[in-house]
Amino acid sequence: MTVTNPLLADSDLPAFDAIRPIHVIPAMEEAIAAHRAAMEVIGQSGADDFDTIMLAAERADFALSRTWSPIGHLASVADTPDLREAHAAAQAMMTAYLMEAGQNRIQHEAVQRVAQSAAFATLPVAQRRAVELALRGFRLSGVALEGDARQRFLEIGVALSDLGTQFSNAVLDATEAWTEHVTDEAALDGVPPGDKAILAAYAQEKGLSGWLITLRQPSVLAILLHAKDRALRERVYRANATRASDQAQDRSFDNSARIEAIMKLRHEAAQILGFADAAAHSLETKMAADAALALAFLHNLAERARPVAERELAEARAFAAAELGLVDLQSWDMNHVAEAMRRTLHGVDQQALKPYFPLPRVLAGTQALIEKLFGVRMVARDDVARWHGDVIFYDLVDGNGAVVAGVYLDLFARAGKRGGAWMDVCRSRFRDADRFHRPIAYLTTNFAPPAGERPSLLTHDDVVTLFHEFGHVLHHLLTEVDLPSIGGISGVEWDAVELPSQFMENFAWQRDTLIGLSGHVDSGEPLPGAMFDRLLAARQFQAGLAILRQIEFATFDLSLHRDYDPAAGARVNETLARVREAVAVIRPPEWNRFAHSFGHIFAGGYAAGYYSYLWAELLSADAFELFARRDLPGGGASAFRREILAVGASRPAAESFHAFAGRAPELDALLRLRGLAA
């Protein structure tokens, strides 16, 4: 009897309960062979109509993505040695093939025929856009390259993919490798009971008594925010800030050589394509015209933020000396001092807030908000295969009761799971003849898990993170574009893709929304209005320091890629020091190596694009102000859904914003949001 590979099943949802590492390589071999055959048929057809060329290519791409998506996802959330080995081999195979497909001249000529056909001008806007972006994709994949340059570009693509995976794996391994076992509870003085319960659970996971401090996000925050033992804070800060670096206690995960190789290869690839540098290459697909414009935007913000940040730092130093006896404020003190200042000066105690945000109540409130704004309900399903018992699946149901989309939620930190929070695509929306594929998303966070019988309790920052990721999810799920290449987040300029996520963050600061989704874990009482008022009043607390930190990271990223010199190498530490001299008011210790775990730019999609968070925040702040004032040409949430979420990349992001707002975006709203307006 033939056993079907679950990764090749033509199913609406992956069979996560059946997928094993042994399925990965055979599935990818078969999926790539099928895609290659489909491209050959398309290229040799001689046709110039959209359906024969473009729709057939979308169909083949959809099938390939359907196989690859669960493999890549499992590698991020359920890492094991066998899966890691299979994923690495499959990723190399996939990358090599995609590079090959991007240089397929026969397929490129077929797409050109569609663009040059008499019927092209009469195609719907979305279809014309799909053709235009496909041609740009071929150009950026080196379709015009010849001989050695063509082969070298292919080799670089495969090597960069492998290096990105190695970088990410090193960070994950370094995160799991460092621990500090605590047997005397006095060492955890100041750490709240809920956080200590998490540390106790980490110890039990390893068969230890007492408490285990790790570099998982809930553990790091528990110590840096609350531990009174300054030496303990310094040890955890140092371990976290030197992960996967030459300064780490265990240097076996050092990413230094990988960073050098990544930067060298990115620069070489950009120059092969005719770009001056990797920044110019990256910005070809973004709203910002060039690195100079993006850096000018950051410089403008830095000039406005720096005086505010200097004042905030002086206030923190004064408070630390007067109230905590810290006369030489260090990097490992900053979170602890900030938390004490929020409590003392603003009456905001994150630990007092957490019981009001038990995860089940927050999820119910989030669902209510989404239904109120966009008219769709989230309905939990128990019959869906999942990769871990904590995973939840929801159908998205419209006003007529029809299921239109779905989302997996994987919310808790655990071993074998990459840190941070993200949304990714499981299935794209695709209407193919009489077959309709609904969009499906993954939403992943690393919240503190439940402690015993008590549910997970979220910080307000966690609530903001959840809303942020749901913004990405809604962008993917509420698309009305039937072509995967330009539906949802696909094809959207990278410096605009954060607009929906940052737009949604604002609801975590709205009185009715936040109080409505709260409910004390013991009494069920909603968040008191006075506590909300204090939280809102403190929204801009240390806003100057926070935005300068983002500007520092974004400027470092752009400078690193724009100014790369093959003769000198990446000069990571030198570049970072130069950027901090110009931007920062807080200077981390010389041994700080945050870049070595900066996965966004070395293992993610944000290379020479980290500025996108602030660029998109400009768009989202302006959009939300208009929404809040109801000062929109087409209404509020309905206009946002129609003009931003529904259209995907079927038109440029600047046009979508103008359709929503009735004008171009303006900077003032961001300055007001961040407390930087004069």
Q: Measuring CA to CA, how many Å separate 250 from each of 43, 217, 257, 300, 573? A: 52, 19, 16, 40, 20
Give pLDDT, residue 632.
Answer: 55
Sign, Cα dihedral of 28, 31, 34, 36: negative
Kindly report the average pLDDT of the chain as a whole number: 95
Give pLDDT, residue 241.
Answer: 98
Give pLDDT, residue 629.
Answer: 78
Q: pLDDT of 28-48, one tens digit each?
A: 999 999 999 999 999 999 999
Instruction: Yes or no: say if 536 and 527 are a contact pair by the CB < 8 Å rule.
Output: no
Instruction: Yes or no: say if 508 and 463 are a contact pair by the CB < 8 Å rule.
Output: yes
Catalytic (active-site) positions: 469
Taking the alpha carbons at both ends of the chain, their separation in whole angstroms is: 74
Q: Which domains does the chain have, with CATH numbers?
A: 6-144 (1.20.1050.40), 178-253 (no CATH), 256-347+542-610 (1.10.1370.10), 355-537 (1.10.1370.40)
Residues of the chain with pLDDT under 50: 1, 634
Give pLDDT, residue 678.
Answer: 65
Q: Are strands 430-432 and 422-427 parallel, antiparallel or unpaired?
A: unpaired
In a 13 Å sphere around the CA of 353, the CA atoms on its Cβ side amount to: 25
Give pLDDT, residue 500.
Answer: 97
Q: State how far the Cα of 657 lies from the Cα of 40, in Å rounded to an integer.
A: 39
From the CB of residue 586, how many other CB atoms can be counted at a distance below 10 Å?
17
pTM: 0.92
**Beta-carbon contacts of residue 629 (< 8 Å; ≥ 6 apart):** none
Closest CA to 275 of 509, 285, 151, 443: 285
Give pLDDT, residue 451.
Answer: 86
Instruction: Yes or no: say if 368 and 517 are a contact pair by the CB < 8 Å rule.
Output: yes
Q: State how far the Cα of 428 lies from the Cα of 421, in Å rounded to an integer.
A: 20
Angle among Cα 493, 49, 29 to the nearest 5 degrees reads: 65
Q: Measuring CA to CA, how many Å separate 578 from each of 110, 271, 361, 574? A: 48, 25, 46, 6
Q: State how far the Cα of 477 lies from the Cα of 442, in Å rounded to an integer.
A: 11
